[in-house]
Amino acid sequence: MAIEIDCEHGDAVQDVTPNAQGCAQCLAIGDRWVHLRMCLTCGNVGCCDDSKNKHASGHFRTVGHPLVQSFEPDEEWIWCYVDDAVVGEAPTLRTARRRGRSRRGERS
């Protein structure tokens, strides 16, 4: 499954699986998050910058993995923390991509 990254950090993308279904660091301290992001280098799931603890960008600052994708089921964007921009699209994690809408209505 090829993921196209529109910046120079595409090499950071690995074939990852999410390490949790929520932000493990928030769960550990009993806190909440707004949205989740998944690191495309190691699969670390962290909370977004709208969340109080901002663990996803904290992960970038700690270990330097630049690319995350949204971990929300209906969002497909990839974010680069270095470029501070959306740099690509990823297949959704938990929902299959909608099939083409070209199914013909069959009438008898």
Interface residues with Zn ion (CB under 5 A) are: 7, 9, 23, 25-26, 33, 39, 41-42, 44, 47, 53, 55, 65, 80, 82-83
Query: CA 49, CA 51: separation in Å to the nearest integer?
Result: 5
Residue 17's Cα: distance from chain center in Å? 11
55: left (phi over 0), alpha (psi -120 to 50) or beta: alpha
* Shortest CB 77 distance to Zn ion, Å: 13
DSSP state for residue 68 in the 8-state scheme: E
Whose Cβ is closer to Zn ion: residue 15's or residue 106's? 15
- For Zn ion, the closer of residues 7 and 105 by Cβ is 7
Q: Cβ 29 to Zn ion, closest distance in Å?
A: 8
